[in-house]
Every structure is written in C-alpha cells, then in structure tokens.
Amino acid sequence: MVNALSSGGSAKLVLITGVSRGLGRALALEMAKRGHTIVGCSRSQEKLHSLSTQLSPDDPSKHLFVLADVRSDSSVAELAKVMVDTKVNNAGTINKNNKIWEISSEEFDAVLDTNVKGTANILRHFLPFMIQNKKGLIVNLSSGWGRSSAAEVAPYCASKWAIEGLTGSVAKELPFGLAVVALNPGVINTDMLASCFGSSAAVYPSPESWAPNATTLILGLTAQDNGASLTV
C-alpha cells in the first residue's frame, strides 16, 4: 500500500474504520458527497466493493478501501502507510443482551478487542505521523453508554467508558496543533441498536439522516477541541 491519494483545496483525506455498514458507511457517503476523499477499512471485501462502486462508479481510484481488521496491530500498521487528515475510529461491536455472568469470555474479549484495542491500534500507528506533520484529528466514536450504563450490555459499556478515558489521557499527551476527541453519535437505528432494542430501534433516526449533522460537526473540529467529549 502506498500513499497515492491526494485531495485538493479544502478537501480532506478522511480515514473511517468500520466503513462498510452503519454509521461508517453513512459518514463515508456524506463526506464523499461534500468532495472529501475517503480511506475506508472493513473486514468485508464484498461490502467494501459495494461502497466503492456506489461512491465512485466511474473513478475507482478516487477513494481507497482496504480489507483490514483493526484488532490486528500488523493490519493497522499497514493501513497507516496512507497519510490522512482526519481519522474516525468507528469500527465497533456489541455483545448480545445478557447478564455479565452469562456472557462468555470469548464474547467479552471480542467487544473489547474491537472497540478498545482496535482504537488503540489506530492511535499507536497514526499518531507518530500526525506528530511529525504537526497536525491532524482523531475522532473516537464513543456512546451514551460510555457516560452512563445499562443492564445486559456491560462489555459494551465498559468498552465505551474506556474510550472516554483513553481519549482524555491521549489528549493530554499530544503536542499543540493536534486533537483527539470522543464523540457520542446519539441513539441511531443501526444493527447494533437493533440487537439491544429489537423492533423498537426503528423509531430512532437512520444513519443516513444522522450523517449530515455528524459530518458538519466532525469537519468543523480544530485543535482547540482536543480532549473534548462531544455529542452529535
């Protein structure tokens, strides 16, 4: 992989993890519509191809979509060879509703590995380039359940509380000019919400209706927002 992408004028290169579905896909579509170039990763080649075709059917080289697993340090190290302006740590998963003593260690680990370790892998490999270039923004997707709690989603709550703490700590380590923020997207009708709420998830906004406000907020962030804990 090489850093072959470029953007002109005020356009940005935006990395979105977990880009193939839900909030990640909606963000990619909205940002691309506004003229920004997307670098996206996912574990589904089929969904990446579908998104690439939708975004740029006549120019496949406009955006870059990479099969990558944020849980893998070596996979993220390869991804970090692409220089981007803004990184959105969106990749995430949730446990099936259950009491903590009925959740297997494998399921608990899967949530923490994706939501926390995946975010840490992005920070580990992208921050040195940001520091070298003296600019850059990382947005870590948090949750309302990273600032409160709910029954039967303890692993997910634990992971998002970790994102809040991780973001705050890293913000204190960054030199001036860089920013990392925690962003609660709000309650959105995604597959993950449906796994918790069932059919009642349908009363909440869709990712597509959420994306315009989220995109405006993310693209408006500056170094002055470093360490902020925000909500769309």
- Quick check: is 156 catalytic? yes
Nearest-CA neighbor of 211 among 58, 28, 67? 28
Please tell me which residue in 65, 145, 156, 210 is annotated as part of the active site. 156
- Residue 65 structure tokens: 């979509």
Beta-bridge mates of residue 15: 39, 87
* DSSP secondary structure code for residue 183 in this structure: E
Measured CA to CA, the distance from residue 114 to residue 224 in angstroms comes to 28
Measured CA to CA, the distance from residue 92 to residue 163 in angstroms comes to 11
CA distances from 16 to 3, 32, 65, 179 (A): 16, 12, 10, 16
The catalytic site residues sit at 156
